[in-house]
Structure 1
Amino acid sequence: MMLVVAAALTNHEGQVLVQQRPLDTTLAGLWEFPGGKVEPGEQPEAALVRELWEELAIEVDPAALTALTFASVPLADRHLLLLLYLCGEWRGVPQPLAATGLAWHHPSALRKIAMPPADIPFIAVLEAALKAR
C-alpha cells in the first residue's frame, strides 16, 4: 500500500492549483494536485504540510487542511491510496520547485487537461465543494 496525500489549493476566484509532472518522472507531463508520499510514522496532514513546502515553498497550517475525498487505485506492484485535502490558506507564493509548471484552473476546466487517472474522479468532488462555498 502506498499512501499519498495531495492538496487542492484554492484561490479567491474559485480556481485550483495544479502542477505539471517533470519529464523524467512516471506520468511525465501530466497535471496533478501537489503533494506526495506519506513517510513511515508520519501523519497524513504533516506529510502534506511537508510536501507543500518541498514542492511549492509555501507554509500551510495543518488546521487549514480539510479532508475532502480519496481515491483507491490498484497499480502494477502495489496499491495507491490517495487522500485529497482542500486548502484555501497558506503563506508564500507557490513556486514550481518540483514541477515543470504551475497553473490555476476552475474545476470544470480540469476536464480539458491531461491528469493522472487517480486525480480525475476528484474533479466532480471539487466542483461540488467549491460551488457550496
Structure 2
Amino acid sequence: MNERIVVGAALYDDGRLLAARRSAPPELAGGWELPGGKVEPGERCEDALARELREELGVEAEILERVPGQWPLAKGYALRVYRARLVSGVAEPLEDHDELRWLAPDQVWSVPWLAADVPAVTAALGQPHSAH
C-alpha cells in the first residue's frame, strides 16, 4: 500500500516557530501542529507545502531543507517536515485552524502539540529524538 504524504512546515520568522491550533476534525480540535497539508498526486513535497501555507495561512514562504525523519499519522499517512522561512504576508488562520502563535525558542513546549507532531517538532528543533 502506498502511504500518502503530509507535509508540515517548521516555519520560522525572526527565530520564532509558528504553531497552529486545529479547529477540525473534532478528534484533533484544540491540538497544536506544524502547519501544512496533504501532497497531491504528482506534486513535489516542497511545492505542496508552499501551496498549503498560501491556502491555510495566506503567506509566502521559502521552503528550505527537509528535517530528517518521517512520522506515522492516522489512516496510512506519513508526516514529513521541512524548515521554511516566512517571506511575505501575515499568517492568519484561514482554514482548519482557529489560532496561530509565533513561539520563541523558550516557548515551543508551552502549547499542547498533537502527539503525532511532538517528534517532528523535536526533530525540527534539532533536539535529541528517537530515530524512525
TM-score by length of 2: 0.81
Q: CA deviation at 1:127?
A: 3.0
Contact 1:68/1:85, CA 8 A, preserved across alignment: yes
2:77 alignment counterpart: 80
Q: SS of 2:56's equivalent? A: helix
- Give the percent of matched residue pairs that are identical in Structure 1 and Structure 2: 36
CA RMSD for the aligned pairs?
A: 2.0
Change (3 A) 1:80 1:24: closer
* C-alpha distance after superposition, 1:14-51 (max 9, x if no partner): 21001110154441110111100001111111110110
**Does residue 97 in structure 1 map to residue 98 in structure 2?**
no
CA distance in 1 between partners of 2:36 and 2:60 (Å): 13
Contact 2:57/2:94, CA 8 A, preserved across alignment: yes
Q: CA deviation at 1:54?
A: 0.4
2:17 alignment counterpart: 16
1:48 alignment counterpart: 49
Structure 1 segments (4+ residues) deviating >4 Å: none
Correspondence 1:30-69 to 2 at 5 A: 30-61=31-62, 64-69=63-68
CA distance in 2 between partners of 1:93 and 1:2 (Å): 29
Residue type at the aligned position of 1:100 = D
- Provide structure 1 residue ranges, at least 5 long, that are not aligned to the other structure: none
CA distance in 2 between partners of 1:72 and 1:122 (Å): 7
TM-score by length of 1: 0.81
CA distance in 1 between partners of 2:22 and 2:10 (Å): 16
Q: SS of 1:10's equivalent? A: strand
- Count of residue pairs brought into register by the alignment: 124
